[in-house]
Structure 1
């Protein structure tokens, strides 16, 4: 066997060991000269370890200098994989090592888009804290808020709003996140967006406001909500309150009971706090 063939064999074993979580084998194979090989899908050992969320292997590969931002055939980096699968500890290791949180795959999605799509709250937090930008758009023009609204992920929407993402961005169809919620009959999403100050007068490429979109798709409950919706100022205070799970902008009371906690504060008590 030639030296080149020997290295190729070691590298193939490295991919398998990384996927199976064989930490000692990974280190030994690298020490023996295994190269950062790729699979048929252009995935490296780091991709393979991240797919299964093996932090030991990921740490070992990072220590050995494995390329953090190598993209596979779909343009996904290891951070995309960690975010898609919801392995927040893996994502944390990668961003601490310097992985690019703004890298886009071939669909234009960042790792944050993927975490939001699959409702991985902790991974979303990790990425936002690492500097990922919620308002970056994919090839369809969708921001992370569009994605979260489409998949009806309320907790993700609150996280994005707490990071001061824009509620007014349009995708390539001219739709805001509120248009998306209106089209898909996601009433709770629409309510949160309205409380965050979403503009009900914006029209999409079809010339429709969110209300007209709701009516077009025969979603009477969302249509009624939009008909009655006040325009709420999108202030720093409202963002902090949304982050902590409060409803804001409700007539007669600026704060209602938290959405995500079991606290039973009355409006005046909450205001005093």
Structure 2
């Protein structure tokens, strides 16, 4: 498609020649992409204006539901966002159009941390509270707001802008997570401070009973975990719906530095099991030698059995872990 190629390259002269020769400004490739999508994604303002004057559809959807506005927002093209929303007196782009995942342009701009783009979209009716199915978890799709997105990626200026526009600092996604859960998982202390200042609860539980400390510990975010413990007094021995503590989550992911922090600064119980097994069991099973070492030094019981009656040594998957456990058993008996 010559028109799409000219738009992608920002070749305004060739683009105008093609349009005058009768090229269809709304022709699509096999993915449903038009020349306007191309011009918006590459930031070619003049090409965008020429295509719109020639009758390009400002709300054309690709096969994935992306409109030209989605492309402009995803790349932070504030000037193009303004052009699309104004659209030369014609019917402008809809700031609330959604793609196939339910995402609006503001979700994409928030993810990229593009403050001017977010400002323009808010001014044209976009909402920081609008939920999208952004697929940000490993196991299932979660409907979340742009506040969640900005918090997860640590875009504090965008987050401040969204909250000042009336977005809810304690909004829950469909998994029950609040933005502070996402900020903790990303290790973004500044975002956590802002959210709690505006009323977010540092002890909030999601639908699985997980707190921000669970999420930050699982992700290995030492600074976030320390801030929750020291600045907000969060209990290091809090449990989720199956009895897992933040220490258990950290141990299961091999986060030895977080395990050490929770024990030394949060007085976390190194032997506290969930409904299935102890932190030492899960660390041994996943071959996390350094975590096993931290837990044993803190007094975790190497003779503990899990729900199936297996000892830690029986679930150990490597010779190094087994050797460490054997040494601990010998030392404890001497």
TM-score for the superposition, normalised by structure 2:
0.61
Please tell me whether residue 19 in structure 1 is matched to residue 8 in structure 2: yes
2:233 counterpart residue number: 227
1:191-210 residue pairs with structure 2 within 5 A? 191-200=193-202, 202-210=204-212
> Which of 92, 109, 116 lines up with 1:115 in the alignment?
109
Deviation string, structure 1 residues 142-172 (Cα, Å, up to 9, x no partner): 1001000000111111111111101121112
Greater Rg over alpha carbons, structure: 2
Secondary structure of the residue aligned to 2:144 is coil
Deviation string, structure 1 residues 209-250 (Cα, Å, up to 9, x no partner): 43555566662323333328xxxxxxxxxxxxxxxxxxxxxx
1:1-273 residue pairs with structure 2 within 5 A? 12-35=1-24, 36-97=26-87, 98-139=92-133, 140-200=142-202, 202-211=204-213, 213-214=215-216, 219-227=225-233
Deviation at 1:32, TM superposition (A): 1.8
Whole-angstrom distance in 2 between the partners of 1:73 and 1:126: 26
Shift of the 23–183 alpha-carbon distance from structure 1 to 2, 3 Å rule, reads: closer
Deviation string, structure 1 residues 119-162 (Cα, Å, up to 9, x no partner): 11111111111111111111121100100000011111111111
Deviation at 1:201, TM superposition (A): 5.0
The structure, 1 or 2, with the larger RCO (C-alpha pairs under 8 Å, 6+ apart) is 1
Contact 2:202 2:228 in 1 (8 A): no
Secondary structure of the residue aligned to 1:227 is coil
Whole-angstrom distance in 2 between the partners of 1:224 and 1:172: 29
Contact 2:153 2:186 in 1 (8 A): no
Q: Which moved more, 1:52-61 or 1:204-213?
A: 204-213
Deviation string, structure 1 residues 88-138 (Cα, Å, up to 9, x no partner): 101110011210111111222111100110111111111111111111111
Contact 1:210 1:226 in 2 (8 A): no
Whole-angstrom distance in 1 between the partners of 2:23 and 2:146: 38
When the two chains are superposed, the root-mean-square deviation of aligned CA atoms in Å is 1.8
Whole-angstrom distance in 1 between the partners of 2:120 and 2:151: 20
Aligned length: 217
Q: What runs of 5+ residues in structure 2 fail to find an aligned partner?
A: 134-141, 235-334
Shift of the 20–221 alpha-carbon distance from structure 1 to 2, 3 Å rule, reads: same
Q: What runs of 5+ residues in structure 1 fail to find an aligned partner?
A: 1-11, 229-273
Shift of the 226–141 alpha-carbon distance from structure 1 to 2, 3 Å rule, reads: farther
